[in-house]
């Protein structure tokens, strides 16, 4: 288009197409002239001038507000509402900032005194209504992105205790208790002080336990109570500032495995964890629970190899002793000394801490969106990480050997750090942390927390929320959904897109996994998104050979997809199952032999018959599934070799809707493990459970892909291999 004016996005609402138009710097006047001509002049034939340009856009937004808004759409302000906007400016030079301030002042907008500088972007706060923000063409010309400015925890930690108590009392009055049979987050930590007024509605004394009853169940260190607050509410800052009712959908349980001033022997970590969890289960044996273990060792010498602790967690997840499956979420662990200095390089050389190498647990890393520093003591300091990047404290599995699982699987908010003006020091700041419950509520109700501990508790909260909506889901299924619904932030996505080799991609996945779980996506399908969930079991082996595979028909709305033709769509597949561990490091013949069995998936290709798919899968099963299933099937992000690590396999395919319409089936098949090799133990007789999550997503084209299949039933065929 002339003058560099571009159509950057379209979306359809109520059968009306809305277009977002980017008008380059200096060209807004040109665009306004076109609008003025359209309104006041006609061509010799009587038609308005520029009719093809203007009438193709039902509602002109000039790339403003809603087009620039990248936060939750529900947070977009009402017409007369005055809010603090987080304004991201197009460019990082002083002239851009001066131009913004000049036109903000003319529009009656209050601009913040401080700003953040990132490559090609400046971030400044502005207090205004949306009418004020749209009132100046010159102001809009320098804006790249808009978000809701978030209050920071420091606003509460700077209050005197009496003020904090008033805020806590207000929130307490808005809370409704969860039902007794609601799912729970079980905090495996230093104990939880359930008398805290914000924890009491969701915590019963019967659900508080200790590995050794003589220790008492109370929290005398604070960490467990901090995690309970995050697991129940997330960051309290947002909840406190809201005036809405808070309906709690899950409960809090606690088992104390750490006591003040006494360290447990390392060789007993696994046994203590198992005994502690058993106490919780005896009290409430039928409750769905997400077990949150935000504690780890202080070293990472195992480098991905199973330890006795991580193997015991694998054992507990798989129900090896009692056939009762469990969902564990464990912390990746924190960078030890010097976190925040030499950022990212240090994260990539500090390995995930034991027991984060557990195959069956969800290992949680930390990322951050927090960059606003308000404390006077940190005047001139800057945030270490940019919004959407890995948290400075988060460890990774970059130093592990390639055969070990991709960890962490997901990341959650863990806060940021502040860097001194000369770059020599990095420190924690309340404003870059998360607000939670303090273990001594009679002193004050709030405290800040962060790092991978807070991220783990936050992930457990998401898991319990999903379980509250779908109580019949297995632990394997909740685990699958956490990964399946994860999204990379913009900085993460940019790194993923820039990866040129499988090794580079694997390196990034070992930093931040599959991104940040999107709770809304995990809970709901939509008109342009469809998610299918399968919970099944198969018998993988018959003594020393493979036994069964499953074929699942995928009830895509084929006609609707074919009607979309070359429109780009996304297919996601996640396969989750629990292996039984064999932690001995001697006697393994091949790398898979830590695992009792493995499962893989293969999606039918457009030109492949079901018989062709079965033959291909049989060949792969015989060859242990190590070769590239997707080698001649383009569009998969990871491919089978990379996605085939561990016991949770996730991949994303992008292609045309017409191509997807012909991918009608998916196969689940076994690969060898010690169940088959050590057949004298007769574990080969066991069935293997799995959860399969498959989803498709299309652009908002107005074509409903959900309704045509909402009432259809998937079929599963058990086929001997």
pLDDT tens for 364-394 read 999 999 999 989 999 999 999 999 999 999 9
Residue 111 scores a pLDDT above 90:
no
Q: Which domains does the chain have, with CATH numbers?
A: 2-148 (no CATH), 154-510 (3.40.50.200), 525-720 (no CATH)
Averaged pLDDT, 283-312: 91
Q: What is the pLDDT of residue 624?
A: 59
**Residues 171-225: pLDDT tens digits?**
999 999 999 999 999 999 999 999 999 999 999 999 999 999 999 999 999 999 9
Quote the pTM value. 0.85
Q: How many CA atoms lie within 13 A of 245 on its CB side?
A: 5
Binned at pLDDT 50, 70 and 90, residue 101 comes out as very high
| Lowest mean per-residue pLDDT among 282-286, 404-408, 644-648, 680-684 | 680-684
Q: What value does the mean pLDDT of the chain take?
A: 86
**Greater pLDDT, 559 or 405:** 405
Q: What is the 3-state secondary structure (H, E, C) of 187-227?
A: EEECCCCCCCCCCHHHEEEEEEEECCHHHCCCCCCCHHHHH
Q: How confident is the model at residue 424 (pLDDT cuts 50, 70, 90)?
A: very high
Q: Has residue 600 got a pLDDT over 50? A: yes
17 band by pLDDT with thresholds 50, 70 and 90 = low
Question: How open is the CA angle 141-150-63, to the nearest 5 degrees?
Answer: 20
Residue 333: is its pLDDT beyond 80? Answer: yes
Query: For residues 710 and 293, which has the higher predicted lDDT (pLDDT)?
Result: 293
Contacts of residue 136, defined as CB under 8 A and 6 or more positions apart, other chains included, come to 103, 104, 106, 107
The answer to whether residue 152 scores a pLDDT higher than 50 is: yes
| Over residues 401-419, mean pLDDT | 97
CA distance 24 to 287: 57
CA 124 to CA 369: how far, in whole Å?
15
Determine the straight-line distance between the first and last CA of the chain, rounded to whole angstroms: 58
| pLDDT confidence bin for 630, thresholds 50/70/90 | very low
Cα distances from 141 to residues 23, 26, 27, 144, 148, in angstroms, run 7, 8, 9, 8, 19
Q: What average pLDDT does range 556-565 have in this prediction?
A: 84
Crossing angle of helices 490-498 and 502-512, in 10° steps, is 160
Query: CA angle at residue 31 from 28 to 36, to 5 degrees?
Result: 120
Neighbouring-strand partners of residue 132:
none
Helix or strand run (H / E) with residue 570: strand 568-576
Give the angle 21-23-28 at the CA atoms, nearest 5°: 125
Of 340 and 476, more confident: 476
Whole-angstrom Cα distance, residue 17 to residue 700? 10
Q: What is the pLDDT of residue 262?
A: 77
Out of 265-274, 492-501, 558-567, give the one with best mean pLDDT: 492-501
Find tokens 């959908």 and name the residue. 249
List the Cα angle 671/675/676 in 5-degree steps: 65
Distances (CA, A) of 304 to 15, 18, 135, 252, 397: 52, 49, 56, 31, 7
Q: Give the distance from CA 580 to its chain's centroid.
A: 26
Please say whether the beta carbons of 659 and 566 come within 8 A.
no
């Amino acid at each position: 288009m002339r003058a560099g004016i571009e159509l950057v996005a379209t979306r359809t609402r109520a059968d009306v197409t809305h277009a977002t138009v980017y008008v380059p710097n200096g060209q807004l006047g040109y665009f306004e002239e076109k609008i003025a001509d359209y309104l006041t002049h006609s061509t010799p034939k009587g038609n308005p001038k520029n009719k093809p340009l203007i009438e193709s856009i039902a509602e002109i937004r000039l790339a403003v507000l809603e087009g620039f808004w990248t936060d939750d759409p529900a947070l977009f302000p009402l017409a007369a509402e005055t809010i603090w906007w987080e304004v991201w400016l197009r460019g990082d030079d002083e002239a851009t900032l001066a131009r913004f301030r000049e036109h903000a002042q003319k529009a009656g907008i209050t601009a913040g005194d401080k700003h953040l500088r990132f490559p090609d972007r400046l971030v400044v706060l502005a207090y205004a209504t949306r009418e004020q923000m749209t009132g100046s063409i010159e102001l809009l010309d320098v804006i790249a992105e808009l978000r809701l400015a978030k209050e920071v925890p420091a606003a509460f930690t700077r209050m005197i205790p009496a003020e904090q108590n008033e805020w806590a009392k207000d929130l307490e009055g808005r809370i409704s208790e969860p039902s007794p049979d609601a799912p729970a987050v079980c905090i495996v930590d230093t104990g939880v002080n359930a008398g805290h007024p914000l924890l009491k509605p969701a915590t019963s004394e019967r659900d508080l336990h200790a590995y050794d009853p003589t220790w008492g169940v109370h929290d005398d260190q604070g960490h467990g109570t901090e995690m309970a607050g995050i697991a129940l509410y997330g960051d309290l800052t947002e909840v406190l500032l809201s005036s809405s009712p808070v309906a709690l959908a899950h409960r809090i349980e606690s088992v104390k495995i750490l006591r003040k001033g006494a360290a447990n022997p390392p060789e007993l970590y696994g046994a203590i964890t198992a005994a502690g969890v058993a106490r919780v289960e005896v009290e409430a044996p039928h409750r769905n629970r997400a077990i949150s273990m935000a504690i780890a060792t202080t070293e990472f010498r195992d480098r991905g190899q199973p330890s006795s602790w991580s193997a015991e967690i694998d054992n507990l997840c798989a129900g090896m002793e009692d056939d009762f499956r469990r969902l564990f979420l464990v912390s990746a662990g924190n960078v030890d000394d010097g976190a925040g200095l030499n950022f990212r390089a240090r994260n990539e050389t500090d390995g995930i801490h034991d027991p984060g190498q557990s195959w069956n647990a969800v290992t949680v890393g930390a990322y951050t969106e927090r960059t606003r520093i308000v404390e006077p003591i940190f005047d001139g300091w800057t945030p270490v990480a940019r919004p959407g990047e890995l948290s400075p404290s988060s460890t990774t599995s970059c130093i592990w050997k390639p055969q070990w699982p991709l960890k962490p699987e997901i990341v959650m908010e863990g806060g940021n750090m502040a860097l001194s003006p000369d770059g020599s020091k990095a420190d924690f700041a309340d404003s870059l942390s998360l607000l939670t419950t303090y273990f001594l509520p009679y002193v004050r109700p709030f405290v800040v927390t962060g790092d991978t501990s807070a991220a783990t508790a936050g992930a457990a909260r998401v898991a319990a929320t999903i379980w509250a909506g779908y109580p019949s889901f297995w632990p394997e299924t909740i685990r699958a959904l956490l990964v399946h619904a994860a999204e990379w932030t913009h900085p993460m996505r940019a790194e993923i897109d820039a990866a040129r080799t499988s090794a580079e991609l694997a390196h990034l996945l070992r930093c931040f996994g599959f991104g940040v779980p999107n709770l809304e996506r995990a809970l709901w399908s939509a008109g342009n998104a469809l998610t299918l969930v399968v919970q099944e079991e198969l018998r993988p082996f018959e003594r020393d050979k493979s036994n069964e595979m499953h074929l699942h028909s995928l009830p895509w709305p084929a006609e609707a997809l074919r009607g979309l033709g070359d429109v780009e769509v996304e297919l996601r597949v996640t396969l989750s199952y629990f292996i039984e561990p064999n932690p001995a490091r001697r006697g393994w013949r091949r790398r898979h032999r830590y695992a009792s069995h493995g499962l893989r998936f293969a999606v039918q290709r457009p030109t492949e018959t079901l018989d062709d798919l079965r033959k291909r899968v049989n060949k792969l099963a015989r060859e242990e599934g190590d070769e590239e299933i997707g080698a001649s099937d383009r569009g998969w992000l990871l491919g089978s070799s990379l996605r085939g690590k561990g016991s949770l396999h996730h991949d994303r395919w992008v292609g045309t809707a017409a191509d997807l319409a012909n991918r009608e089936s998916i196969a689940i098949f076994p690969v060898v493990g010690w169940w088959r090799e050590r057949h004298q133990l007769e574990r080969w007789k066991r069935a293997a459970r799995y959860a399969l999550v498959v989803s498709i997503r299309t652009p908002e084209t107005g074509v409903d892909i959900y309704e045509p299949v909402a009432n259809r039933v998937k079929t599963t065929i058990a086929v001997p291999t």
